[in-house]
């Protein structure tokens, strides 16, 4: 930062601090500079009180839940977040922590790491970029057409983590909400994207799990893995439903995803 910019920055900080002292701490009761009244944006309703960044943080922290679409006014913000550096940087932070944790472990041949697929292993950003980054209501017909092409790219930081875990000798299990009918295309897509090795890939048998939540489905499949003698030492996904429920694993890692919510 050069001197001139430093001065401007210092000035802005000084004003911000002064404003905070006036409106916030001094009178105790008035917190108007931090308006926190949340209206979760179902159906893309405008949320005047809450910035899109606050909404995204609320989503990642699982304070904002069960939302159907990204608030209409946040399309530009979320698009920028996804396409510029921040999404990649946030993903990298998660994957690095996961690797640092994995490196400390002494594992056995029955130790596995669970990866979700969509927005964890493979990216559907090419699709969502054409559909308002989550502002448009989910359209299963269109989304499945995209999945069936089998050309979703890898998430680069996740692919790095995957390779590092393999090189440590940890076995990988993919656990995805994609249905049985998409198993073949998912396997092909994973290989094209650079994922060549895994212990198991578990897709959703809709004859068993029809109408069940992802939390129920994934908990139940992880329980089966443990009953088969596997230890889940790590579990990574972009949805809270990947890491909530039972048999979640010794440690969980939440990748960012402000485009859709699956319960």
Ligand X SMILES: *[C@@H]1O[C@H](CO)[C@@H](O)[C@H](O)[C@H]1NC(C)=O
What the block records as the tokens of 102 is 């994995």
- Binding segment toward ligand X, per CB under 6 A, in 40-48, 71-79, 139-147, 255-263: 139-147
In angstroms, the CA 127 to CA 118 distance is 12
- Binding segment toward ligand X, per CB under 6 A, in 18-26, 52-60, 135-143, 189-197: 135-143
DSSP labels, 174-224: EEEEEEGGGHHHHHHHHHHHT----SEEEEE-HHHHTT--HHHHHHHHHHH
Q: Which is nearer to ligand X, 86 or 144 (CB)?
A: 144
By CB under 6 A, the count of residues binding ligand X is 5
List 139, 188, 228, 246, residue binding ligand X (CB under 6 A): 139
Q: Which is nearer to ligand X, 92 or 131 (CB)?
A: 131
What the block records as the tokens of 216 is 């129920």
How far lies 63's CA from each of 14, 55, 59, in Å? 31, 9, 6
Q: What are phi and psi of 234, to 5 degrees?
A: -150, 155
What the block records as the tokens of 181 is 């009918």
Q: Report the nearest approach of ligand X to the CB of residue 195 (Å).
A: 28
List 22, 84, 142, 149, residue binding ligand X (CB under 6 A): 142
List 2, 3, 141, 207, residue binding ligand X (CB under 6 A): 141
In angstroms, the CA 202 to CA 117 distance is 10
In the stretch 90-109, what mask flags binding to ligand X with x, by CB under 6 A? --------------x-x---
Q: Which is nearer to ligand X, 2 or 106 (CB)?
A: 106
Q: Report the nearest approach of ligand X to the CB of residue 68 (Å).
A: 13
In angstroms, the CA 224 to CA 218 distance is 10
Let me know: does 232 contact 192? Beta carbons within 8 Å.
no
In the stretch 57-96, what mask flags binding to ligand X with x, by CB under 6 A? ----------------------------------------
* Residues in contact with ligand X by the rule CB under 6 A: 104, 106, 139, 141-142
């Amino acid at each position: 930062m050069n001197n001139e910019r430093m001065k401007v920055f210092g000035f802005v900080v000084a004003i911000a601090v002064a404003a905070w002292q006036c409106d916030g701490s001094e009178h105790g009761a008035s917190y108007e500079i931090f308006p926190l009244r949340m209206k979760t944006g179902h159906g893309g309703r405008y949320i005047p009180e809450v910035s899109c960044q606050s909404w995204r943080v609320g989503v990642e922290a699982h304070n904002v839940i069960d939302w159907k679409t990204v608030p209409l006014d946040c399309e530009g913000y979320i698009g920028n977040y996804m396409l510029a550096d921040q999404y990649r940087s946030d993903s990298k932070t998660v994957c690095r922590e996961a690797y640092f944790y994995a490196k400390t472990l002494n594992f056995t041949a029955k130790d596995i790491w669970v990866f979700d697929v969509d927005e964890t292993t493979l990216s559907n950003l090419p699709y969502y970029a054409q559909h308002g980054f989550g502002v448009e209501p989910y359209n299963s017909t269109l989304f499945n057409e995209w999945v069936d092409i089998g050309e979703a790219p890898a998430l680069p930081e996740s692919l790095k983590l995957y390779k590092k875990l393999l090189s440590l000798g940890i076995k990988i299990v993919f656990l995805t909400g994609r249905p049985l009918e998409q198993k073949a295309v998912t396997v092909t897509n994973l290989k094209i994207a650079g994922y060549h090795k895994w212990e198991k890939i578990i897709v959703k048998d809709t004859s068993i799990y029809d109408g069940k939540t992802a939390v129920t489905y994934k908990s139940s499949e992880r329980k089966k893995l443990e009953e088969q003698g596997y230890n889940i030492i790590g579990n990574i996904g972009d949805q809270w439903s990947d890491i909530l429920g039972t048999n979640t694993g010794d440690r969980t890692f939440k990748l960012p995803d402000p485009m859709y919510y699956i319960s």
